[in-house]
Structure 1
Amino acid sequence: MRVDLFDFDLPTERIALRPARPRDAAKLLVVEGDAPFADRIVRDLPAVLRKGDVLVFNDTRVIPAQLEGRRGDARIGATLHKRIDLRRWQAFVRNAKRLREGDRVEFPADVTAIAEERLPDGSFILTFEGEEPVEVLLERAGRMPLPPYIAGKRETDEADRSDYQTMFADKDGAVAAPTAALHFTPDLIAALDAAGVGRETLTLHVGAGTFLPVKADDTEDHAMHAEWGRIDTATAERLNAARGAGGRVISVGTTSLRLLESATGKDGVIRPFEGDTSIFITPGYRFRAIDGLMTNFHLPKSTLFMLVSALMGLDKMQAVYAHAIANDYRFYSYGDGSLLIP
């Protein structure tokens, strides 16, 4: 499909630079079948969902993956993207023309890395020196990797260390937050428990590739970056049982959705999964694992807007976004949410 079909005009003032406080006070646009759009708030979820529904969260934890350093007199910026092994990470590099294979980059707090290899897409494999775990080095030298549409408008600060982390964050490895889950609070979870709404967790370490623009003119020419994920056997079995009992599996975020769909066969059975996925969902895709999606509002011409258009239909999603813009919904990572049920 032509990428320009997924374009829309978004006023810059609709881009949220800080999250709602409290988190579950964010707006929630409920879009279910052919029913009229419903303007709610996230705190209304227990009344919107059904007993027996299951919400699926991503328990990845965002690491301080943004680094600013020097190679000689050249300033080098690095955003870690994907772990290769204990000491090596794939990274997108700013000012990459000043970096050659074998160069040492010096970051703050005595953290150094060797530019081991330049990859075909222009990114580098960085090998961190020393004996300390890389996560410890990043806590010392790195910053939270806010998306460019936020970082370009304000400095990252200490508040982002907690704001850009979900309450489910447990397993280190993401360089972008699964932002739909940022709206959840312990009080909301307690209310969902009382309403009989279940929850499960999986792990997908979100990469910086999620922010990359689609530069191709046609969706068939766009290559997705791979991300590592895991669904264990017990979780898969419980999700299959919930669907078998008539409950709906509702993914909280596109990251959970992409992993669930990667783990599900044509028979609709969710199976254990561990490994990389580069699934790219566009209109025409037949969903196998999920019955609904809670997600934020995404960028024009992005892979994520293509995904929600695959779920609900392109015309419907253009109408949804027009409604959101007209009714002062806040967009992107720190913005408001939508509940999409075909």
Structure 2
Amino acid sequence: MQGKGETWLEANECAARIGLSKRALRLYEEHGLIRPRRTQKGWRLYGADEIARLHEILALKRLGLSLQRITALLQGKAVDLAGILGIQHDLLADQRERAEQGLALVRAAQAKLAAGTSLTADELIRLAKEANMTETTTDTVAWKRYEQARPRAEIKLDPRRFERCTGFYKHPAGLIMAVTLEDDRFFLQLTGQPKVELFAESDSNFFLKVVPAQLTFAPGEYGGIDTLVLHQGGHDTVATRIDEAEAKRWGNELGERVRNRIPDPRSEATLREVLEQQQRGSIPLALLSEELAELVREQQPIVSAELESKGELQSLGFRRVGEDGVDIYEAQFAGGALQCGIGFGQDGRVHTLWMRPA
């Protein structure tokens, strides 16, 4: 059916072309997720907006969300087709990458067996690990990214209600998160980063406008706020409250490292291992935090190709300590140089890792 330049589908045709039942369309309508137009005879019509919303619903179902969770996420909100397409792209690209990595392992094992050679213990472990991998983590991260990226609505609250949230929190990556109230405005500042304003979404939930990230303040056993949860990049990271003296002590230690150019004793050897493994096309998961491992896994094809094109790693030269505590090196390869940054968290794993042209 055509109308004013737009195509409208009746329920039967819409369901058949998308691969749904009419009952599913009715169910989504009952949950307030779609609102098809009606003809004078009461027939339902589905246009571009309704089909875009159906795409969102089906994509979120593919990520494992229940209808109740999808309803809570989408009800009353505008269609964000660009957002859900971005999530789908990331998910499918990650699945393709993992499938290619798995096929490469299997083919290599088949070739060795066909040549009459036994597989080593390390090769068998890699095959077993590949067989045990699931998409649960990727799917969960993908839908969290989608939820975190949705538009937020600011509410006005009495600034005095924020006072119990102010103070210092220690991020697992080793950063200090300072939460302050200034002239009735709420601010967050991470080590080595500019101060950014927070906006209230509820009594304990706040969001940033500069990046798709949110904060939740959680009370402890005695009612005071003792943890801060950062929701960003598809992850929920818990930072614990510390007193001002500890925050100052940590800041002084970092300041001394920056002034005197003192690298973490682990950084050079760890960075070398990370670069060499990625150059070979593998991911040093045991060295990385969970959040960083997920990000490295997504970017591995690009990073591996870039490192491979540079040739053999010849030297690592320490340059300085960044204001955020990250050790910065220049990696010299046979075919060029890269500037690399590496930082460790409280658990001893790498939480910060980046590289760019030198």
TM-score range, shorter chain: under 0.3
Higher relative contact order, structure no. (Cα contacts within 8 Å, ≥ 6 residues apart): 1
TM-score (norm 1): 0.23
TM-score (norm 2): 0.22
Structure with more of its chain in helix, by fraction: 2
